[in-house]
Amino acid sequence: MEGSKGVLERLKKNSILATDIASQFWCELQMELNYIHGREFNKAMAGGSKVHKELQMEVATVIDVEPQNYADFLFKEAYENYLSLKSLNEKGIGREIKVYGSLNGYKFAGKIDELNVRDGKVVIVETKTKALNGKLFEKNEGVKEISDATMRTHKIQIMLYRKMLGDLQSKEYTYKNFYNSYAISKMVLSDKFIAQLELIGIDRNLRNFDTIYSMGYEQIYKMAPISDTLVISYVDRNTGNEFASVSVDYNKESFDKILVDAMAYWTGQREARPVVKEEAWKCNFCKFYGKECKVWWAK
């Protein structure tokens, strides 16, 4: 068994993504093999990215600059986060919000599709896209188009966002934690990126990490309380229309137990698990089936 941080090093990662945890509940072994052999960017992913970008543009939280290095990327992300959170507090909606956290000393990261204010509480919304070839269903029928196995991964993902956002709002995870974990003191913006910031009118006083992150965190602290009722919105990627909406109840104690099991893989306490035999049908949709993985392969 691998020791602490061994799994991350082998997969060439420095943090765990919310989508990683969710993928463990589809097929943990497939998630691992995707990092070892590479994930293919397919048509479905391209369609989903297009929908998410259009939704973000609806609330105008994208700045038109091109990062030249990782520091530039982090700054752009932080500035857009600030704009999204400010939009949430002023207009009741914010989209594409990056969140960070930690668990057992491991760095976590994820991006929340949408936050909106309903009945005085902030509701987390996760948008999932699906190709329906233009055919829409009634909502109660549309849910049937999403398998329980698929929905399970989506529920895990949105519950992790609830935990991370809650940790940020309660100050269990602060800018100081982020600053130390991501070595912000060593980040230097490129001259070309700074020139772009000047061109779009971003004030000189805002062009540093401490200021822009402090502004973002202050917006988090100003947010309304976070609802324990989470929403998964299923959208037709061809039309952008929602065809199903599923409510998920968050229970911290129950979810913490789920995370203990998931983290046993990342801490090296156990090997990656394949799907259970009852769900071996998933293998028919996996590019590793019969190649790198032969767990349920019929020889």
Q: pLDDT digit string (tens) for 1-49?
A: 555 568 999 999 999 999 999 999 999 999 999 999 987 655 555 555 6
* 3-class DSSP state of 111: strand
| Residue predicted with more confidence, 5 or 191 | 191
Instruction: Please report how many Cα atoms fall inside a 13 Å half-sphere around the Cα of residue 148, on the Cβ side.
Output: 1
Q: Which of 178, 158, 193 is nearest to 81 (CA)?
A: 178
| Residue predicted with more confidence, 181 or 55 | 181
Instruction: Please report how many Cα atoms fall inside a 13 Å half-sphere around the Cα of residue 114, on the Cβ side.
Output: 24
Is the pLDDT at 271 greater than 90, yes or no?
Answer: yes
Is the pLDDT at 134 greater than 70, yes or no?
Answer: no
| Cβ atoms 78, 271 nearer than 8 A | no
**Angle, helix 148-169 to helix 252-266, in steps of 10 degrees:** 100
| Cβ atoms 122, 116 nearer than 8 A | yes
Q: Which of 146, 154, 137 is nearest to 231 (CA)?
A: 154
Rounded mean pLDDT, 136-159: 74
- For residue 297, what pLDDT is reported? 87
- For residue 104, what pLDDT is reported? 84
Is the pLDDT at 138 greater than 80, yes or no?
Answer: no
- For residue 129, what pLDDT is reported? 86
Q: Which of 104-113, 128-137, 248-257 is the least confident region?
A: 128-137
Would you say how long the chain is, in residues? Answer: 299
* 3-class DSSP state of 103: strand
| Cβ atoms 4, 267 nearer than 8 A | yes
Q: Which of 121, 125, 134 is nearest to 56 (CA)?
A: 125
Average pLDDT, the chain: 89
Q: At 249, which helix (H) or strand (E)? A: strand 242-249
Rounded mean pLDDT, 272-295: 94
Rounded mean pLDDT, 275-296: 94
Rounded mean pLDDT, 42-60: 59
Residue 287 tokens, joined = 């590019």
Is the pLDDT at 139 greater than 50, yes or no?
Answer: no
- For residue 243, what pLDDT is reported? 87
